[in-house]
Chains A and B, each alone.
Chain A
Amino acid sequence: MEKKILLIEDDFAIIDIYKTVLETNGFDLEVITWGEKALEKIEKVKDRKEPKSDIVLLDLILPDMNGIEILRKIKGQEETKDLPVFILTNYDSKDLAKEAKSLNVEDFILKTDCTPSELIKLIKKKLKLD
């Protein structure tokens, strides 16, 4: 069965890149570009109206909110708190990185420091594929 990846990201070039590489590697990708929509999605997962993803790739600077809020929502409810979340951002802030790590994220990655191929490696490692 295809592994489900939830990408929360607003930059269309970056969405295009990740979509290409993830789908090439056989992942089932769902993209959300809006913070509010992401919160709704997590609510639905909690109520079992929608299936749970296997991995969440979360951007921090979204048009309507800070990704940390979404992270708090995910980690704050029993049904979703074990979801592996990778922060993928270009906002190199020590404070945000610290906060994200305290909320138990898999990793805090700067997008410029991680090529799509490297991202695939990280995901496969986490999902124990290969």
Chain B
Amino acid sequence: MVSSILILPILTLIIILFLALVVFFADPNKETNRVFSLFALWAGFWVFSVFMADFSKNLDSVLFWSKISILGPAVFSPILVYLSYIFPIEKNKPRNWQIFLLFLPTFTFISSWFMDINIKKVWFEPWGSNFTPGSLYYLLVFFIFSYFVLSFKNFYKSYKFLFGKEKKQIRFVFFGFFTGVIIGLTTNAILPIFGYAQFSSVGPAFSVMSLAGFIAYSITANQLFNIKVILTQVFVLIVSLILLFQIIIAPSTGIITLNIGIFISFCLFGYYLVKSVIKEVKLREQAENLAKQEKELKEKAESLVHEFERLDTAKNQFIMATQHHLRTPLTSMIGYIDLLLSGSFGKIPLKIKGVLLKFQASTSRLGRTISEFLDISQFQLGKEVVSLEPNVDITPILEEMEQEISFEAKNKGIYFKVEKSNIPLIVADSNKLKIAFFNIADNAIKYTIKGGVSVSSKVLDNKLQIIFKDTGMGLTQEDKESLFTKLFERGAQAQKAFATGRGIGLYLSYQIIKAHGGKLWADSEGRNKGSIFYIDLPIK
């Protein structure tokens, strides 16, 4: 049976060497992994030399190992500092001369380890060996302390400016430092006060092992710094260490075999346990990520809606302000022409009256155009344009249309006839319906050179049908398809329509009739065979 005080350093050594191997083979191409393995190997060498010094049976041997034990810290301290520059990211990797400077004290220790300024004297105590340190030894303690502080400072600097996974990685290194200090304080300061000095030789080994363990975990664990996973891993590790310990202290071969069996089974079980916990955590992280993405998309959509609403309001305000500003001077023109024509400023010559009438026709057309553009914009914005009222008599609209359009038709040398008898009352917005009728009539006049336009109406099962028949240039099949809607659905065509004026009036008429629950369509036997425009309006 091996004494348990001997077991501790052996176990520490095994664990440290194990960490060196695992981290190295996790990714031998990475400098971080190689540097860490070097650190762990030298730490292992140090634990080994301290162990040898403690348990050697003769003083020469004790002196030799005691002296040699300064080599471990002399090498692994600068390696730790170097690691603090390249892990978790290579932020400012030291240059070669800086590395040389970093290792300069190490060369001093290596070249003088055998001298008496290192260890003056060794002797035996009841619990092991003891020694009188020389000046080199004190220098070493100072050296270790300052290098550890330097590496901690480097890690802390990275910690402050990194985030996410790297930040978590450094947090693990901090845990390592922290537990290392706690263990060291416990075994070498607190326990000796209570008379348990025998742990002081293994305490520093434990400290270094814990630091190495945390750094190793931090290097190898990919993005999974989940507490659940870590606890499971720690649990499996502790139990397997206990089981390993059981194998070493087992009294007989039978029990050793049994314990090995238990150890192997537990290792397998632990492996699958950790694996399943990692899987579960990963799935949950995925779900969380999805939820986060969904939330972000939702927020984006909401902000787009807000942006859209803002643009919609701005557009609306612009349209409303524009039409108001256009109408104000137009009102003066319309007003003064009316005053002139009605003789408010005295009698006017016939010739000038003719000019004023043309002027009046233009201003009222301009007024209608402004209304039309406003209505079109409102239709396109999906706003309510038409306000329907019951029992509307459309005869006055037809009369007004006849009067005004006849004037234009006469100028052009064509006829414009409106037949308006027995027209039932309908549900309508008379202002908007007037715009629709005027536009269809205007359009018919525009495309008719000889002959003329006649408007008639009839009642067809709950529908009032108004028919505009012209002897004009007619429509092709293509015209018929694009007359009312498609012009506006195609960007380029719509621009053409705005430029020539064609299409706007018909588009608007179509929308107005549609808003009345009615229908507007056109028919023609072809080019130069005239066309017929039909308006169906429901009677209620």
A residues in contact (CB < 8 Å) with B: 11, 13-14, 17-18, 20-21, 24, 61, 90-94, 97-98, 110-113, 115-117
Q: In the complex, what residues of A have CB within 8 A of residue B431's CB?
A: 113
Task: Tell me, in angstroms, the Cα distance from A14 to B335 when the chains sit together.
Answer: 8
Task: Tell me, in angstroms, the Cα distance from A17 to B334 when the chains sit together.
Answer: 10
CB proximity to A under 8 Å, residues B398-444: 431
Q: In the complex, what residues of B have CB within 8 A of residue A17's CB?
A: 331-332, 335-336, 338-339
Query: Is A90 within 8 A of B344, CB to CB?
Result: no
Query: Is A14 within 8 A of B331, CB to CB?
Result: yes
Q: In the complex, what residues of B have CB within 8 A of residue A11's CB?
A: 328, 331-332
B385 sits at the interface (CB 8 A):
yes
Task: Tell me, in angstroms, the Cα distance from A98 to B386 when the chains sit together.
Answer: 12
Stretch at the interface among B92-100, B172-180, B197-205, B366-374: B366-374
Task: Tell me, in angstroms, the Cα distance from A98 to B387 when the chains sit together.
Answer: 9
CB proximity to A under 8 Å, residues B374-397: 374, 378, 383-385, 387
B residues in contact (CB < 8 Å) with A: 320, 323-324, 327-332, 334-336, 338-339, 342, 344, 367, 370-371, 374, 378, 383-385, 387, 431
Given A21-B344, A116-B338, A92–B332 Cβ distance below 8 Å?
A: no
Query: Is B344 within 8 A of A20, CB to CB?
Result: yes
Contact among B320, B339, B383, B385 for A91, CB-based, below 8 A = B320
Query: Is B387 within 8 A of A92, CB to CB?
Result: no
How many residue pairs link A and B with beta carbons under 8 A? The number is 73
Q: In the complex, what residues of B have CB within 8 A of residue A98's CB?
A: 387
Q: What secondary structure prevails in chain A residues at the interface with B?
A: helix
Taking A94-B384, A112-B330, A112-B370 as known contacts, 16 extra A-B pairs with beta carbons closer than 8 A to each other, sorted by chain A number, are A11-B331, A17-B332, A17-B335, A20-B339, A21-B338, A90-B323, A90-B328, A92-B371, A94-B387, A97-B387, A110-B371, A111-B334, A112-B327, A112-B367, A113-B371, A116-B339
Task: Tell me, in angstroms, the Cα distance from A113 to B378 when the chains sit together.
Answer: 19
Query: Is A113 within 8 A of B367, CB to CB?
Result: yes
Task: Tell me, in angstroms, the Cα distance from A14 to B385 when the chains sit together.
Answer: 27
Task: Tell me, in angstroms, the Cα distance from A111 to B323 when the chains sit together.
Answer: 12
28 A-B pairs with C-beta separation under 8 A: A13-B331, A13-B332, A13-B335, A14-B328, A14-B332, A14-B335, A17-B331, A17-B332, A17-B335, A17-B336, A17-B338, A20-B339, A21-B335, A21-B344, A90-B324, A90-B327, A90-B331, A92-B324, A92-B374, A93-B320, A111-B334, A112-B327, A112-B331, A112-B334, A113-B367, A113-B431, A115-B334, A116-B335
For A18, give the chain B residue with the smallest CB separation: B335
Q: In the complex, what residues of B have CB within 8 A of residue A90's CB?
A: 323-324, 327-328, 331
The smallest C-beta distance from B100 to any residue of chain A, in angstroms, reads: 82
